[in-house]
Chains A and B, each alone.
Chain A
Amino acid sequence: AQSVTQLDSQVPVFEEAPVELRCNYSSSVSVYLFWYVQYPNQGLQLLLKYLSGSTLVKGINGFEAEFNKSQTSFHLRKPSVHISDTAEYFCAVSWASGGSYIPTFGRGTSLIVHP
């Protein structure tokens, strides 16, 4: 079975600073990788996903993530954050073939952007 580790439960950062939210996964087969964001009192919405091809994936709101197969990581980055980026961020992984297609989610990382 796959598993997902989000190492940081909370990441405080100042506005306009860069940020990286870390995600590591374990799986013995090829995977699809996702980052979701949850704003207060809302459901999760997709930021970006890696299915295949280029390892650098660009998403909405200026976020990007890089798939690193050797390090089994899919870290999320933004070069300059906004107050409005304050939210909970979830990394998720699902198997690309065989087995369950249901994504496994990490615990989430709370990004707190200070003015």
Chain B
Amino acid sequence: EPEVTQTPSHQVTQMGQEVILRCVPISNHLYFYWYRQILGQKVEFLVSFYNNEISEKSEIFDDQFSVERPDGSNFTLKIRSTKLEDSAMYFCASSRGRGRNEQFFGPGTRLTVL
């Protein structure tokens, strides 16, 4: 059964460093998403990506964040200069369509910023 994969499973970084979180969405899906979950809090939407561009983003997704689909299979989230408050679980998801369509989630990357 196809699944969304994410690497690494855990990333530890120093404050101010750049990190890139990687995701491989399901191959025939068209919409891609990043969410984050700070420990004990809600799953929060960061950004959605369709047709090689950002289709929607939240207030959290500021200039420190960027997304890319560099090669037609990977979908990456870059945080340019990490802050302590970026420590969270980051989930990638993909879907065939939008709205009523189910999102398929990866297992997440736990980012720890020291």
Q: Residues of A at under 8 Å CB distance from B?
A: 32, 34, 36, 41-46, 49, 51, 90, 94-96, 100-108
A44/B91 contact (C-beta < 8 A), A107-B41, A107-B42 known:
yes
What's the minimum C-beta distance from B93 to chain A, rounded to whole angstroms?
A: 8
Q: How many A-B residue pairs have CB under 8 A?
A: 55
Cβ B105 vs Cβ A45 within 8 A: yes
Contacting residue for B99 out of A42, A96, A105, CB 8 A: A96
Question: A32 contacts B99, CB within 8 Å?
Answer: yes
Complex-state Cα separation, A95 to B56, whole angstroms: 14
**Interface size class for chain B?**
20 to 34
Interface residues of B (CB under 8 A from A): 3-4, 6, 33, 35, 40-45, 48, 56, 91, 93, 98-100, 102-108
Query: How far is the CB of A29 from the nearest CB of chain B, in Å?
Result: 12
The 8 closest A-B pairs by CB, nearest first: A43-B105, A105-B43, A101-B99, A44-B105, A101-B98, A43-B107, A46-B102, A107-B42
Chain B: CB-nearest residue to A100: B56
